[in-house]
Amino acid sequence: MSPHSPQSSLSSAPSADAHAAQQRLTEVFDMLAPKQGMTRSSLEGVNLMRANTPMPRMPVMYEPSIVIVCQGRKRGYLGDQVFQYDAQQYLVLSVPLPFECETEASPGEPFLGISIRVDLTMVAELLMALNETQGTARNEPLGIYSTPLDPALSSAVQRLLEALMSPLDARILAPGIVREICYRVLTGEQGDAIRAALTHQNHFGRIAKALRRIHADYHGALDVDTLAAEAGMSLAVFHAQFKAVTATSPMQYVKTTRLHHARLLMVQDGLNAGAAAARVGYESASQFSREFKRLFGLSPVDEVKRMRAIYDSPPPRVVKPAARYVTAV
């Protein structure tokens, strides 16, 4: 036997293990999320994502969440920032943000990912437990960022997916694993942003609070003066800090939020454009249609057709309550 044979055998073992692990992940997704689009798991706040074909750059809105990719790749665009998330890098949104996203996928190698909503109550509890060991912020807080996936976090995600395969495991074990994942992110390379989003003593935390206010009342009358006053900032400072976090102005953010919610109402709940416009706070249907086309590139009717074709979903027969946040694959 060649003196190099044992070393060759050992070096191939990790590759074989990685292949087996990837194959298992694919099997789990085939069972938990067989259809293209976003699939809600049995655990509140945990969603599975699947795309069987590439998706062009398009507007999306994500809630505060941790997005971990198991296969495939996404590329996000916010202002002049470009960030990539794939099997090596996970995405964190510390605040709800609209941005643009494109997806790399194919029928033979679909995009597979898991999205975990950032539960602010859980984060606050973890921060209290971490209080004695956490120092000052290491990085300037960001509303959205991608960061390398470490082995501990990867292991937790694999265990979460396995737990979701069993109703009993999902009920008993999965909540603890989600808590572990949040802990890993909080103590990770870019965990400062989520901590900062809950600290109202800094500008980032005040803007994060304003964004939560907008999402709670997007369909009502919102004005920048009130938002700035609630944030304890002058109008000029509020505008500057808001744009630093979201890459857009406050009223443009409100408008984009309304349009994303309206699209969700039309696609998922079957509302027509006029009804959706009124539901999200528009008084003029024609203004709604103009602004909708400016954002999505298509009329409301054509965009609904496009979305249903992508996700292979027929028009709904029953109107259901709207989701709090708009999410997308």
Q: Which two tokens stand for residue 101?
A: 């996203």
Q: Are residues 250 and 269 in the same domain?
A: yes
Residue 306 Cα distances to 19, 33, 106, 206, 320, angstroms: 35, 21, 19, 37, 21
CB hemisphere CA count around 300 (13 angstroms): 25
pLDDT over 50 (residue 180): yes
Q: In Å, what is the CA distance from 87 to each residue of 49, 253, 322, 323?
A: 14, 30, 31, 28
What is d(CA 163, CA 60) in angstroms, rounded to the nearest whole number?
29
Task: Write down the pTM of the prediction.
Answer: 0.86
Residue 258 to residue 276: CA distance in whole angstroms = 9
Question: For position 93, which CATH number holds?
Answer: 2.60.120
pLDDT tens digit sequence for 132-170: 444 455 567 889 999 999 999 999 999 999 999 999 999
Q: 326 vs 32, which has greater pLDDT?
A: 32
Residue type, 136: T
Residues 6+ away with beta carbon under 8 Å from 211:
95, 96, 245, 246, 253
Same domain, 120 and 188: yes
Examine the pLDDT at 209 and tell me if it is beyond 90.
yes
Say which residue the tokens 């938990």 belong to: 32
45: Cα within 13 Å, side-chain hemisphere:
18
Question: Could you tell me how far CA 33 lies from the centroid of its own chain?
Answer: 17
Residues 43 and 188 occupy one common structural domain? yes
Most confident of 13-17, 127-131, 273-277: 273-277
Report the pLDDT averaged over residues 65-94.
95
Residue 314: pLDDT band (50, 70, 90) is low
Q: Do residues 191 and 205 both lie within one domain? A: no
User: Maximum Cα–Cα distance for the chain, whole Å?
Assistant: 81
The answer to whether 238 touches 76, Cβ cutoff 8 Å, is no
Q: What is the chain's mean pLDDT, rounded?
A: 87
Surface-to-core class of residue 285, CB atoms within 10 Å of its CB (0-12 exposed, 13-18 middle, 19+ buried): middle
- Residue 112, CB-side half-sphere exposure with 13 Å CA sphere: 24
Residues 6+ apart with CB under 8 A from 292: 259, 262, 263, 273, 299, 300, 303
Shared domain for 164 and 239, answered yes or no, is: no
Assess whether 148 and 219 both reside in one domain: no
Among residues 196, 229, 262, which one ends one of the domains?
196
Does residue 30 belong to any structural domain of this protein?
no
User: Based on the domain organization, do 52 and 161 belong to the same domain?
Assistant: yes
Q: Is residue 32 part of a domain?
A: no
Q: Which pLDDT does position 311 carry in this prediction?
A: 74
- The tens digit of pLDDT for each residue in 35-55 reads 999 999 999 999 999 999 999
Q: Measuring CA to CA, how many Å separate 156 from each of 32, 172, 299?
A: 17, 15, 42
DSSP β-ladder status, 46-51 and 111-117: antiparallel
Q: Give CA–CA dist 224/164, Å, rounded.
A: 43
Which CATH number do you get for residue 254?
Answer: 1.10.10.60
Domain that holds residue 80: 37-196
Residue 283 lies in a domain: yes
Mean pLDDT value of segment 67-90:
94
Say if residue 130's pLDDT is above 90: no
Residues 127 and 248 in one domain: no
Q: Evaluate if residue 116 carries a pLDDT over 60.
A: yes
Interval 172-200 mean pLDDT: 91
pLDDT at 254 over 80: yes
Instruction: Answer whether residue 134 is part of any domain.
Output: yes
More confident residue, 140 or 315: 140
Query: Token match 């700035």: residue?
Result: 228
Does 145 lie in the same domain as 91? yes
**Domain for residue 12, yes or no?**
no
Judgement on whether residues 191 and 68 belong to the same structural domain of the protein: yes
| pLDDT at 329 (0 to 100) | 57
Q: What is residue 3's predicted lDDT score, i.e. its pLDDT? A: 43
Total residues belonging to the chain:
329
Mark out the alpha helices in 85-150 (DSSP H runs).
120-130
pLDDT, mean of residues 191-199 = 87
